Structure 1
Amino acid sequence: MYKEILYTVDNFIATITLNRPDRLNALTPQMESEIRAATDLATADDNVRAIVVTGAGRGFCAGADVSLLTPGVSEDLAGNPYDSDQTYSYLLTVPKPIFMAINGVMAGAGVIFAAFGDFRYMADGAKLTTSFARRGLVAEFGISWLLPRLIGTMNALDLLCSARVVEAREADRLGLVRTLQAENFLATVQGIAREMVTMASPRSIGVIKRQIYDSYFQSLDEASAFADEEMRAAFASEDYIEGVAHFVEKRAPNFTGR
């Protein structure tokens, strides 16, 4: 079904693996299209409650394939998915949590792609660089809007303007990622995702995700009004009934997401 990614579902978790290990999983229009298709598939699947994205081999994502950035070729990018609307920001609209399992090096557009995930875990020892300024390029795909919101203006300017190499532990201190041991890294991230979506209501998680990202464009009054509306809907949900029942009965929850 897919040529440049792998897609599996196991126990509520869909795992998307970028699968061009010989190129450190550099992005191509084909891969971009497949990632989006797999994300849509996971979104529509009631058996999936969270999405984990990782890379095959020793890299997470080395950014755009350099063959697309050479002089004379870059001018043709307007016709491929890199230049389409919501190239990465569509991930914010997915109603299920997205966990970026950054297993190795990531650079350029790979950093942007990961930044639009909801949770970013990075293997200890992995490194990143934004790359753009050292290639004569600029902050693209909305990263100039998102990164300051994640790590603050000065830190965002540092990573984008210097394009220096940053190790996982520094990225953790900046608040961009959380560092985990490299051993059993992917399984650990999948376990974190699975615990979240089984111990908490998938319906609640989806609404809360929308509340957080919508708040970037709302006033306090608007955010409060939206919360009131969603709270009334929550009281009528199956997950609310189960949330109260499992607490009172002192047992593990059995949420349906409805």
Structure 2
Amino acid sequence: MTEPASGAVLYAVADGVARITLNRPDRLNASNADMSRGLTAAFSCAAADPDARVILLSGTGRGFCAGADMQVLDELSANPETPNSGSGGLRYDGLMLLPKPVIAAVHGPCAGIGLAMACAADIRLAAEDAFFVAPFAGLGLCAEGGLAWSLSRLIGPGNAADMLMSARRVGAQEAYAKGLVSQVLPNDGFIAAATEYAHMVATNAPASFAIMKRQLREADLQDFEAARTDAHALTQETLKSADFKESMTAKREKRLARFTPVTSVFEPPVSKS
């Protein structure tokens, strides 16, 4: 198993939850190549670790991620042909392909590539002080990181157009009302509450997570009948699974189920620029 290679990202596993923490607090966790390499290593660890059933992504200091580091933007401004060291070649939409749930715990600023990262997670929790910004129109850029797709899928095309074209700050309560985040939690004890939520999710069956992530990913490409037919076949399959039998036994014995771990290889799509 590859250990995270950079102090820009912290990694730890406890009680079924892999904590991946962006760790450039002096730069509001702005993304650079070191962070991207660290994230790739951390997600690779979590994917391959049978003890990591759920991944919790958060940031140290005053914010989640303020976007690309200004040094990176300056380099790209001077030479647009320069490989984008802000992403380190990593496409954050690779998180969607992981068979394990990714929960983004967002406090303070979540902007630019940080917003793309959060939108690639399966679940987003926000602290009361969280705010979300897609700054690209104000920089003369396009909607990067697949945000035109992922943001529209989460909050609808009209709301996505508002965020992308106005480049305005969207606070936690507005983000909740639009469906961008699932819960808004108090600032005090936010990470502890998000970790408790992740531990609750981690008590469920890892194999079910992998199936559900695929179902959710494919839903936009299916009509209802195709989704229903797929679900019926998967139901017949999972009814025969060891996890289902274990869950029924655990209920009869009034204990927590001991589900089969899932491991995988993290192979995110890689950008050419």
2:185 to 166, 180, 187: 180
Q: Deviations over 1:189-245 (max 9, x none)?
A: 1111111121x2221122111111122223444433432332233123221101222
Distance in 2 (CA, whole Å) between partners of 1:248 and 1:6 is 40
Q: Relative to structure 2, which stretch is displaced further, 246-255 or 117-126?
A: 246-255
SS state at 2:50 partner: coil
SS state at 2:258 partner: coil
C-alpha change, 1:119 and 1:134, in structure 2 (3 Å) is same
Aligned to 2:202: 197
1:94 to 82, 92, 98: 98
Is this contact kept in 1: 2:9–2:21, CA < 8 A?
yes
The letter of the residue matching 1:53 is L
Give the alignment's Cα RMSD to 1 decimal: 1.8
Aligned to 1:144: 148
Q: Deviations over 1:148-204 (max 9, x none)?
A: 110011100000000001111111111101211111111111111111121x22211
Aligned to 2:21: 17
Structure 2 gap ranges (5+): 263-273
Is this contact kept in 2: 1:58–1:104, CA < 8 A?
yes
The letter of the residue matching 1:77 is P
2:82 to 69, 76, 79: 76
Aligned to 2:127: 123
Is this contact kept in 2: 1:81–1:87, CA < 8 A?
no
1:4 to 5, 8, 13: 8
Q: Relative to structure 2, which stretch is displaced further, 229-238 or 140-149?
A: 229-238
C-alpha change, 1:183 and 1:89, in structure 2 (3 Å) is same
Distance in 2 (CA, whole Å) between partners of 1:40 and 1:10 is 17
Greater relative CO, 1 or 2 (CA 8 Å, sep 6+): 2
Q: Deviations over 1:114-152 (max 9, x none)?
A: 111011011102222111111111101211011111001
Question: Among the aligned pairs, what percent are the same residue?
Answer: 38
SS state at 1:190 partner: helix
Aligned to 1:45: 49
SS state at 1:251 partner: coil
C-alpha change, 1:73 and 1:179, in structure 2 (3 Å) is farther
Structure 1 stretches of at least 4 aligned residues deviating more than 4 Å after TM superposition = none
Q: CA deviation at 1:81?
A: 7.1
The letter of the residue matching 1:131 is P
Q: Relative to structure 2, which stretch is displaced further, 114-123 or 1-10?
A: 1-10
The letter of the residue matching 1:65 is D
SS state at 1:253 partner: coil
Aligned to 1:62: 66
SS state at 1:40 partner: helix
Distance in 2 (CA, whole Å) between partners of 1:74 and 1:60 is 27
Q: CA deviation at 1:58?
A: 0.5
TM-score by length of 2: 0.87
The letter of the residue matching 2:99 is P
Aligned to 1:159: 163
TM-score by length of 1: 0.92
C-alpha change, 1:90 and 1:81, in structure 2 (3 Å) is farther
Is this contact kept in 2: 1:239–1:257, CA < 8 A?
no
2:227 to 220, 223, 226: 223
Is this contact kept in 2: 1:68–1:74, CA < 8 A?
no
Structure 1 gap ranges (5+): none
Distance in 1 (CA, whole Å) between partners of 2:79 and 2:173 is 36
Aligned to 1:255: 259
C-alpha change, 1:148 and 1:82, in structure 2 (3 Å) is same
